[in-house]
Amino acid sequence: MSFVQNKISNEEDCLSDGVYEVEKIIDNRIVNDKNQYKIKWYGYPESESTWEFKENLFCEKMLEEYHNSKTSNKKKKTEEVVFNQIVTCEWEDHISRIVAIAISPSGTKEVEYENKDGTKGVCDAVEFRYKAPIKLIEFYEEHLNFTE
């Protein structure tokens, strides 16, 4: 069976010629050290997508676009991680200390903290972990109990 990306007039032509049109590339993987791509075929439901080796596909532009989009997505994810790391310590300079950590009635951990100006606040522990991680570590270190 041969595969091409060129437009094909209808499904009957596909079946009679044994040539199918690639609608989109869904995924990729390595099998026996060769690239294999999950292909969504034009005119067929996604449930009939198949894994095909690169050498059976004649859609270089589509393959290039697929790889460029994957690279672009990785770059975006990396940028998001870097951005999150940049904003993680935004409360460190404003918080004097953590007063307590408790479990709320809804079952989530909450951090009660005191600001340097004397005001107090309560924050979800997951959010606090990103806003003031050093203060959280210091609190845990102060409250550790070691046994011999």
Domains of the chain: 2-65 (2.40.50.40), 75-148 (2.40.50.40)
pLDDT for the residue 103: 92
The Cα 98–Cα 111 span in angstroms is: 7
pLDDT for the residue 131: 86
73 or 60: whose pLDDT is higher?
60
For residue 140, pLDDT over 80 is answered with: yes
Mean pLDDT of the residues in the chain: 80
Please name which of 138, 143, 122, 135 lies closest in space to residue 88, comparing C-alpha atoms: 135
For residue 96, pLDDT over 90 is answered with: yes
Percent of residues, the chain, with pLDDT higher than 90? 32
pLDDT for the residue 142: 92
Q: Is 87 helix (H, G, I), strand (E, B) or coil?
A: helix
pLDDT for the residue 73: 61
Q: What are phi and psi of 104, to 5 degrees?
A: -75, 165
Specify the pairing of strand 34-41 against strand 109-115.
Answer: unpaired
